[in-house]
Amino acid sequence: MRVVVVGAGVVGTMHAWQAVERGHEVVQIERETEARGASLRNFGQIWVSGRAGGEELDTALRAREMWEEIGARVPGLGFRAIGSLTPVRNERELAVAEAALARDDAAARGYKLLGAAEAREVNPALRGTFEAALFCERDAAVEPRTAQRVLKEALQASGRYTFIGGREVREVVGPGAVRDDHGEVHTGDAVVLCTGAWLGGLVRELAPQLPVRRVRLQMMQTDPLGEPLTTSVADADSFRYYPAYKSQALDALNAEQAQTPTAAAHKMQLLMVQRKDGGLTIGDTHEYEHPFAFDVVEEPYEHLKEVVEGFLGRPLPRIRHRWAGVYAQCTDTSRVVHREQVRDGIWLVTGPGGRGMTCSPAIAETTANELGW
């Protein structure tokens, strides 16, 4: 078969990977010269721990296996099976962690509740004050700013892959055929549109009632920490945003222990992972109302700095990058992704939300299976 993939973010690239792996020829088209969206502006976390039970967790676990397999073949991905720790600081937060540990699928996630001393044995950089920590063994990390590039290089080595950058697909001109803004027509047995947060233009024309929204977030990266951060780290505010932690204990936490005003105003949680150069990627916020602000706001960074320093027990290294990103999320947040045939031979795959980096290999595998690749 000949497969045309539109979009070079992680979802599009994993669709290209699936097609090449199955022996097909792939043309991948990207409107920028290289991917520039949410696939680069994220934590690089393969985040199993907070996923909803059922389809979402199954997808994340399958994707986690696939990331490890691909990482063994493409070392430049920087795949690391580091797990995660969520330190808790009081009885209410501890009760939510204990409720998560009681889930039927806790073992599949690799949950374990560690005392503070045990958590410091796992991650010695956490010298601050906390009572215990929820460990998730299945969480992992890759390098988001280089992942698409090294995957593309591996695809090009197959001899069945062509990348075309700097072209925006503007029009469907027939079954399995699209025209770009240079007037070139690209035809395949299947065209898969993986356009990320680009929901206007052709996407709006093809799917005017698309049940997907855009979400904006702020993040930052520091200078090297100077020591290993051996796991990714979250804080108990993440319990409020991930469905795996829904419980009576979480209800009690929400009722009796409010987020700080800054965290509540910006719908914040701490997520933190160390990059290969030793720096820390730290976030994040969530903004849902359009139009989005065009500037970044300082208060969330100040809040994150305080939380991180509390866990590390030391000053945070200098912040060297601050940025905002936008991703596409299904309006029904229980859905892993929106997958729709929009014309003969044309499919749209979008809206994984914050699951994109985690779940993209399994999302692409499902597409390939459903389309009979």
Q: What is the mean pLDDT of the chain?
A: 97
Q: Provide the pLDDT confidence category of residue 349 given band limits of 50, 70 and 90.
A: very high
Q: Are residues 221 and 339 in the same domain?
A: no
On whether both 162 and 151 belong to a single domain, the answer is yes
Please report the pLDDT score of residue 17 as a whole number.
Answer: 98
Examine the domain organization and report whether 311 and 350 are in the same domain.
no
pLDDT tens sequence across 82-122: 999 999 999 999 999 999 999 999 999 999 999 999 999 99
Same domain membership, residue 252 and residue 276? yes
Domain match, 191 and 325 both: no
Beta-bridged to residue 112, according to DSSP, are: 135
pLDDT confidence tier of residue 201, bands split at 50, 70 and 90? very high
Report how far residue 69's alpha carbon sits from residue 151's, in angstroms, rounded to the nearest whole number: 13
Judge if 191 and 168 occupy the same domain: yes
Cβ within 8 Å of residue 196, ≥6 positions away: 7, 9, 11, 12, 37, 38, 39, 327, 328, 350, 356
Does one domain contain both 312 and 248?
A: yes
- Rounded to an integer, the average pLDDT of 2-16 is 98
Q: What is the pLDDT of residue 254?
A: 96
209-223: per-residue pLDDT in tens? 999 999 999 999 999
Residue 300: per-residue pLDDT: 98
Per residue in 279-301, pLDDT (tens digit) is 999 999 999 998 999 999 999 99
Choose among 142, 81, 61, 137: nearest CA to 365.
61
Domain end marker among 330, 345, 364: 330
**Statement to judge: residues 149 and 179 lie in one domain:** yes
Residue range 230-255: mean pLDDT, rounded = 97
Range of the domain at 320: 84-137+212-330
Cβ atoms within 10 Å of 311's Cβ, excluding its own: 24
Structural domains counted in the chain: 2
Residues 249 and 326 occupy one common structural domain: yes
Q: Which of 223, 233, 215, 218 is nearest to 323 (CA)?
A: 218
Residue pLDDT, tens place only, 59-78 = 999 999 999 999 999 999 99
Answer yes or no: are the C-beta atoms of 45 and 232 closer than 8 Å: yes
* Block residue for tokens 């035809």: 187
Q: What is the DSSP letter of 51?
A: P
337 contacts 330 by C-beta, under 8 angstroms: yes
Shared domain check, 95 and 7: no
Strands across the sheet with 177-180, in order? 169-174, 177-180, 185-187
Same domain? For 68 and 163 the reply is: yes
Name the DSSP class of 77: G
Which CATH number does the domain housing residue 276 bear? 3.30.9.10
pLDDT recorded at residue 208: 97
Q: Of all residues in the chain, what percent carry a pLDDT higher than 90?
A: 99
Overall average pLDDT of the 37-60 stretch:
95
Look up the CATH number of the domain holding residue 50. 3.50.50.60
312 and 240 co-located in one domain: yes
Q: Say which amino acid occupies 97.
A: A
β partners of residue 218: 324
Q: How confident is the model at residue 183 (pLDDT cuts 50, 70, 90)?
A: very high
pTM over 0.75: yes
| Per-residue confidence band for 156, with pLDDT thresholds at 50, 70 and 90 | very high
Report which secondary-structure segment, H or E, holds 141. strand 140-141
Q: What percentage of the chain carries pLDDT values higher than 70? A: 100
Determine the Cα–Cα distance for residues 159 and 347; give it in Å rounded to an integer: 25
Task: Tell me the average pLDDT across 221-233.
Answer: 98
**CA-closest candidate to residue 90, choices 129, 136, 123, 122:** 129
Query: Please, where are the H alpha helices in the chain?
Result: 10-21, 55-73, 91-101, 106-109, 116-122, 144-156, 201-206, 248-256, 261-265, 298-312, 356-370
